[in-house]
Amino acid sequence: MTPTPADLAGAVLTIDLVALKDNWRRLNTLAGKAECGAAVKGNGYGLGIEPVAKALWEAGCRSFFVARPKEGEELRKLLPDATIYILDGLFAGQAEFYAKLNLCPALISIEEAQEWAAFGRVYGRKLPCAIHVDTGINRLGFSMAEFDSLLADRFTMRELNVTLLTSHLACADDPPHPLNQRQHDAFAAVRAKLPGVAASLANSSGVFLGDGFTHDLVRPGIALYGGNPTLNVANPMLPVAILEGAVMQLRNVAAGDTVGYGATWTATRPTRIAILGAGYKDGVPRALSSREPHGPAQVFINGHRCPVIGRISMDMMGVDITDLPDGSVKRGTRAEMLGRHIGIDEAASWAGTISYELLTRLGSRYARLYTGLESDRPA
């Protein structure tokens, strides 16, 4: 019998594209009258740009956001008819690259606006673009004063086809934070200076702030992929990434024995352990390594949570299965490290990071299994 990729890999990552599409549809409903786009930068948040983009297109998404022009090139090959925004703006000297691929830069400075306008004059038409105004996060974008200067530069403005005004929320995952309202008000002032142009302010968390933040187009990211868009509230999104490691060996250790590099974990009782074929090469953060007898990091095996013990190494990790019924775990049994029972935000908190980083740093060695893409089904 020919082995499957999952048979030959110690870890298996299953991407549930049905859940991804359901997440987009939920956000689309919450967006109300606004169009619901999708941020697919970073290789679809680490889950694979091709299946992710195709699934979102099948769900009904038509506007996509990437960070870099190279990402835009890859996405254009997959979705010839999509609207594609480049969030990191216009890379110097690359206007022709954007124009040929119909990529829409989110211009972030007067210099970029002037370069885009000048190229449009040579190209023979006003090329579409977004204008990104910084309303309080202090990263990319026009300051309010620079935006006023751009509007006063009639020579540049008359050569721009501005199709979208955009800004980015800093604290949308914390609804009571006062910066949310300040950014809302600042963005309203921006819109008033360029009436009639579509506007986008809401990221994943912003969608949940209500109608005052959704405007004409929302651009969710992490919520699409199963991350929790709001603090201290049960996650309303479905898990999309399910990471499992197979048991390679079972062993018994005596009280006082240590497990793993550095002998950082010591058994306090006779202990049964399972060694899983998953480590930091597979995207399991080394920061999940535990000195504690019972956590905090855990995996899910046969209906039970089991604590991670010792240091996570490149290829493997240990878990304590002493409290599981004898014989319930065998060589080849899979343990969930991320998924339906071990939430991505929970695992990220154990590792001292956030769900974004956990997803985008998932490794490439495991078997990737995609489920739920309609275009892959036989006719």
Could you list the beta-strand ranges (E) of 40-170: 63-66, 83-86, 103-107, 128-132, 161-166
Helix (H, G, I), strand (E, B) or coil at 72: helix
Query: 3-class secondary structure for 200-263?
Result: ECCCHHHHCCCHHHHCCEECCCHHHHCCCCCCCCCCCCCCCEEEEEEEEEEEEECCCCEECHHH
Tell which residue, 120, 115, 198, 108, has the closest CA to residue 159: 120
| 98 close to 119: Cβ distance less than 8 angstroms | no
Beta bridge partner(s), residue 217: 35
Which one of 21, 41, 54, 98 is the catalytic residue? 41
Instruction: Determine the Cα–Cα distance for residues 115 and 93; give it in Å rounded to an integer.
Output: 8
Residues in the chain, how many? Answer: 379
Query: Is 100 tagged catalytic?
Result: no
151: exposed, middle or buried (C-beta count within 10 Å: 0-12, 13-18, 19+)?
Answer: middle
1: exposed, middle or buried (C-beta count within 10 Å: 0-12, 13-18, 19+)?
Answer: exposed
**How does strand 334-338 pair with strand 317-320?**
unpaired
For the chain, give me the number of helices (H) and strands (E)? 14, 19
Instruction: Determine the Cα–Cα distance for residues 144 and 193; give it in Å rounded to an integer.
Output: 11
Helix (H, G, I), strand (E, B) or coil at 98: helix
Query: Is 261 tagged catalytic?
Result: yes
| 89 close to 105: Cβ distance less than 8 angstroms | yes
Q: Which amino acid appears at position 122 of this protein?
A: V
Which one of 77, 100, 261, 330 is the catalytic residue? 261
Instruction: Determine the Cα–Cα distance for residues 189 and 199; give it in Å rounded to an integer.
Output: 12
Catalytic residues: 41, 261
